[in-house]
Amino acid sequence: MAGNTSTATFTFQVSVTYDGVCELIRQFIADDQEIANGLCSKLLNAQEAEKRGNLKAKEGMLHAFLNEVNAQSGKKMTTEQAQILKKLAGYL
């Protein structure tokens, strides 16, 4: 080796979807599907509101979702898992 170095960069795109976040919720809360279903229901209602063009309803459902995530943080999910879900919800 002659000590030569080089640098490269690359870009990738990750798509966050309602269904994908729901799948993650079901993995995080595998032991309580009632809570997982409630969280997913809020997300899917937000998605339906978005499809109808009702952004105020979407925001309301996402707010309800975040409140429930906060309530379950440290209980049915770890604080780290809750942080991940809150971050992902910001991309929906």
> For residue 80, what pLDDT band results from cuts at 50, 70 and 90?
very high
Q: Specify the residue for token string 């795109």.
A: 13
Q: Report residue 79 CA to chain centroid gap.
A: 14
3-class DSSP assignment, residue 73:
strand
3-class DSSP assignment, residue 2:
coil
> For residue 13, what pLDDT band results from cuts at 50, 70 and 90?
confident
Element (H, E) at 61: helix 55-72
Helix, strand, coil tally for the chain in percent (to 5)? 65, 0, 35
Q: What is the pTM of this model?
A: 0.84
- Per residue in 16-71, pLDDT tens? 999 999 999 999 999 999 999 999 999 999 999 999 999 999 999 999 999 999 99
For residue 1, is pLDDT > 80?
Answer: no
